[in-house]
Structure 1
Amino acid sequence: MAEIRLEHVSKRWGAFVGVDDFNLTIADREFLVLLGPSGCGKTTTMRMIAGLEDATDGKIHIGDRVVNDLDPKDRDVAMVFQSYGLYPNMNVYENIRFPLKVRKVPESEHDARVMRASAMVELDEFLHRKPAELSGGQRQRVALARAIVREPTVFLMDEPLSNLDAKLRVSTRAQIKNLQHELKVTTIYVTHDQIEAMTLADRVVVMNKGVVQQVGTPTDIYDNPANTFVASFIGSPAMNLMSGTMSGGVFTGDNVSIAGFDAPDGPITLGYRAEDATVAEAGQGQITAPIYTLELLGDATMIAVKAGGALVSVKAHKEFRAEIGDMVSINIPSSICHLFDAESGARIG
């Protein structure tokens, strides 16, 4: 049983608060992603679970043990870092084997466990090579195998794909997801990349400035962001956010007017996703503005215009053709819109 519980966990350095009153239960075998920008507290949270940082307040449970006072080696967790941390003088086989030697696992078990871990990340043909002879993707797979070979209770992964190029990130991401499914080990994964979070996680924890903003499945967070921070952080592109005024159920702002809301009058922030809107006949949409830019994506054309005090976009058909400066109308029915408090940013509808 590798359920993890964080109860009122905080980390402070003097007056600076790195993590503030973090409460969460991570289920046995769950793949949980901590997501947020640099400095949001996600890596600090992981390091407290690992024992590399001491929690200022609160309790950390792994299984049925409170682990606050346990050394990292006694918490039965395996970490995979952004920097691979391989030993340059050892070949791949010995790098993978090293944790078994340190933990004094009987030598008779070493070969079978190394070969099993190697096979899971497709490294068998590279076992004789030194790290300097490997590509970035291969080195990251060695780091994964070194974590797998320990057969830990918990995997902790701190931005393991950030040093890889785009193509390798996609393939290694798939490998990590499949590994977690096969190994059935509770996994906590830290990233600032919302695509990684959306594709890997059973649940996502979105953090900002040390505070949890929202916890939920990728679909929950994408479809119902709790506030404007989450809305602007999740999605590619992020949710479009426009400032305006609600009056009599009609939202108005620069170049935009959308009717059909049941919301109180006053200043408000309206959000919508580019793929939910459509290009309308001239003058028939809720936004009418000159095209600011066009991006051909292959499967679609992304059109950006200025409206509601922001640069907002709509995903059009791949065959859509126009020029920068041409007028375009965008259809944004009220049913696809999200409403947020103009001051706090909290979701109101």
Structure 2
Amino acid sequence: MAEIQLRNVHKRWGSFVGVEDFNLTIADREFLVLLGPSGCGKTTTMRMIAGLEDVTEGEIAIGGKVVNNLEPKDRDVSMVFQSYALYPNMNVYENIRFPLKVRGVDPTTHDEKVMRAADMVELRDFLHRKPAELSGGQRQRVALARAIVREPNVFLMDEPLSNLDAKLRVSTRAQIKNLSHELAVTTIYVTHDQIEAMTLADRVVVMKAGIVQQVGSPTDIYDTPANTFVASFIGSPAMNLIEGEVNGGMFHSEHTLIDGVNLPDGKLVLGFRAEDAWIAQDGEAGQINAPIYTQELLGDAVMISVRIGGALVSVKADKTYRAEIGETVSICVPDTICHHFAADTGARIGE
């Protein structure tokens, strides 16, 4: 069993706080993603679990055993890095086999274990090649196979796809998803890419400036973001956020008038997803009436954007929709699709 517990974990370098009061239980066989922008503390958290960084305060337990004072090699974790970290003088077979040699695993089992790991990542035909003869995607698959061959209790993956081009990221992401299902090993995955988080994770931890902002399933975080930071970080495009005021149940902002906002009068940040609103048709009265700032053909839809105050607000229209930049467009945004956030703290208001 490889349940991982982080109990009041802090990481500080002098006065600089890298991670603050991190509390979380990661279930056995769970695929957990640490998500956030650069410098938010996600990689530092992973490195503390791996033993590559010391914990300033708090405890980390793996399988019920506190590991704060254990060396990385004694924690039974296997790590995949962004930079692949392959040995250039060894072929693929020897790169995959290397962890078995270092850990003194019975040599008679090496070939079977290497072949099994290579088959999982479709590398059997490349075992004789050196890393320099491989593409970026193939090198990352070697790194994955090297982690798999150890059969650890925990996989740690630190932005493993960030060096790959867009097409390879999609195919390798699918491979990681399939591997996680097949191997059924507790996995912690660090990324700044919210699409990776949404597609891979059982649960997502969104971090900002060393502090956990929200923990939940991808659906929970997408549908009910805890604050404006999470709302603006999750989704492609991100949630539209409009600053305005409520007066008598009516939300007012530039070019915007939305009825049915049953909240006390005062300042408010109102949010909605681009796919939930629509362009008014057949005499409909839209809640936003503004000139088109830009339009982008996405293939399956057209993204129409308008400016509300200093913010760009987007809505998806049918792929056949055409209009000119500067032309006034009417957008339907009923309150039933809206999210409400406190203007001062950014915290979610309501359910």
* TM-score normalized with structure 1 length: 0.99
Q: What is the letter of the counterpart of residue 285 of structure 1?
A: G
For residues 309 and 284 of structure 2, the distance between their equivalents in structure 1, rounded to whole angstroms, comes to: 17
Secondary structure (helix, strand or coil) at the match of 1:84 reads coil
For residues 165 and 225 of structure 1, the distance between their equivalents in structure 2, rounded to whole angstroms, comes to: 29
Q: What is the letter of the counterpart of residue 171 of structure 2?
A: S
For residues 30 and 250 of structure 2, the distance between their equivalents in structure 1, rounded to whole angstroms, comes to: 43
Secondary structure (helix, strand or coil) at the match of 2:349 reads coil
For residues 253 and 283 of structure 1, the distance between their equivalents in structure 2, rounded to whole angstroms, comes to: 20
Partner of residue 50, structure 2: 50
For residues 310 and 258 of structure 2, the distance between their equivalents in structure 1, rounded to whole angstroms, comes to: 15
Partner of residue 151, structure 1: 151
For residues 55 and 317 of structure 1, the distance between their equivalents in structure 2, rounded to whole angstroms, comes to: 52
Q: What is the letter of the counterpart of residue 47 of structure 2?
A: R
- The answer to whether 1:74 aligns with 2:74 is yes
Deviation at 1:261, TM superposition (A): 1.6
For residues 4 and 111 of structure 2, the distance between their equivalents in structure 1, rounded to whole angstroms, comes to: 31
Partner of residue 12, structure 2: 12
Q: What is the letter of the counterpart of residue 62 of structure 1?
A: I
Partner of residue 161, structure 1: 161
Q: What is the letter of the counterpart of residue 52 of structure 1?
A: L
Deviation at 1:248, TM superposition (A): 1.1
Partner of residue 108, structure 1: 108
Partner of residue 137, structure 1: 137
For residues 323 and 17 of structure 2, the distance between their equivalents in structure 1, rounded to whole angstroms, comes to: 49
Q: What is the letter of the counterpart of residue 48 of structure 1?
A: M
- The answer to whether 1:239 aligns with 2:249 is no
For residues 64 and 109 of structure 2, the distance between their equivalents in structure 1, rounded to whole angstroms, comes to: 28
Q: Is the 8 A contact 1:256 1:308 kept in 2?
A: no
Secondary structure (helix, strand or coil) at the match of 1:167 reads helix
Cα deviation 1:23-54 (Å, max 9, x = unaligned):
00000000000000000000000000000000
Partner of residue 208, structure 1: 208
For residues 311 and 208 of structure 2, the distance between their equivalents in structure 1, rounded to whole angstroms, comes to: 22
257-266 vs 202-211, which deviates more? 257-266
250-259 vs 281-290, which deviates more? 281-290
For residues 60 and 328 of structure 1, the distance between their equivalents in structure 2, rounded to whole angstroms, comes to: 54
Q: What is the letter of the counterpart of residue 304 of structure 1?
A: S
Q: What is the letter of the counterpart of residue 5 of structure 1?
A: Q
Secondary structure (helix, strand or coil) at the match of 1:276 reads coil
For residues 213 and 349 of structure 2, the distance between their equivalents in structure 1, rounded to whole angstroms, comes to: 15
Q: Taking every aligned residue pair, what percent have the same amino acid on both sides?
A: 77
Partner of residue 192, structure 2: 192
Q: What is the letter of the counterpart of residue 123 of structure 1?
A: L
Q: What is the letter of the counterpart of residue 296 of structure 1?
A: L
Q: What is the letter of the counterpart of residue 114 of structure 1?
A: V
For residues 55 and 230 of structure 1, the distance between their equivalents in structure 2, rounded to whole angstroms, comes to: 26
For residues 308 and 315 of structure 1, the distance between their equivalents in structure 2, rounded to whole angstroms, comes to: 20
Partner of residue 305, structure 1: 306
- The answer to whether 1:319 aligns with 2:331 is no
Q: What is the letter of the counterpart of residue 345 of structure 1?
A: G
Deviation at 1:21, TM superposition (A): 0.2
- The answer to whether 1:222 aligns with 2:222 is yes
For residues 42 and 264 of structure 2, the distance between their equivalents in structure 1, rounded to whole angstroms, comes to: 36
For residues 2 and 248 of structure 2, the distance between their equivalents in structure 1, rounded to whole angstroms, comes to: 53
Partner of residue 296, structure 1: 297
Structure 1 unaligned runs (5+)?
none
For residues 49 and 4 of structure 2, the distance between their equivalents in structure 1, rounded to whole angstroms, comes to: 9
Cα deviation 1:253-280 (Å, max 9, x = unaligned):
0000000121111001000000000000
Question: How many pairs are equivalent?
Answer: 349
Deviation at 1:308, TM superposition (A): 4.6
For residues 63 and 248 of structure 1, the distance between their equivalents in structure 2, rounded to whole angstroms, comes to: 55
Paired residues for 1:77-92 under 5 Å: 77-92=77-92
* Cα root mean square deviation, aligned: 0.7
Q: What is the letter of the counterpart of residue 143 of structure 1?
A: A
Deviation at 1:94, TM superposition (A): 0.1
Q: Is the 8 A contact 1:253 1:309 kept in 2?
A: no
For residues 331 and 81 of structure 2, the distance between their equivalents in structure 1, rounded to whole angstroms, comes to: 44
Deviation at 1:97, TM superposition (A): 0.1
Q: What is the letter of the counterpart of residue 101 of structure 2?
A: K
For residues 123 and 117 of structure 1, the distance between their equivalents in structure 2, rounded to whole angstroms, comes to: 9
Secondary structure (helix, strand or coil) at the match of 2:117 reads helix
Q: What is the letter of the counterpart of residue 320 of structure 2?
A: E
For residues 346 and 261 of structure 2, the distance between their equivalents in structure 1, rounded to whole angstroms, comes to: 18
For residues 81 and 250 of structure 1, the distance between their equivalents in structure 2, rounded to whole angstroms, comes to: 51
Deviation at 1:283, TM superposition (A): 7.3
Secondary structure (helix, strand or coil) at the match of 1:138 reads helix
Deviation at 1:284, TM superposition (A): 1.5
Cα deviation 1:219-274 (Å, max 9, x = unaligned):
00000000000000000000000000011111000000000121111001000000
For residues 27 and 71 of structure 1, the distance between their equivalents in structure 2, rounded to whole angstroms, comes to: 23
Deviation at 1:307, TM superposition (A): 1.7
Stretches of 4+ aligned residues off by more than 2 angstroms: none
Deviation at 1:309, TM superposition (A): 3.8
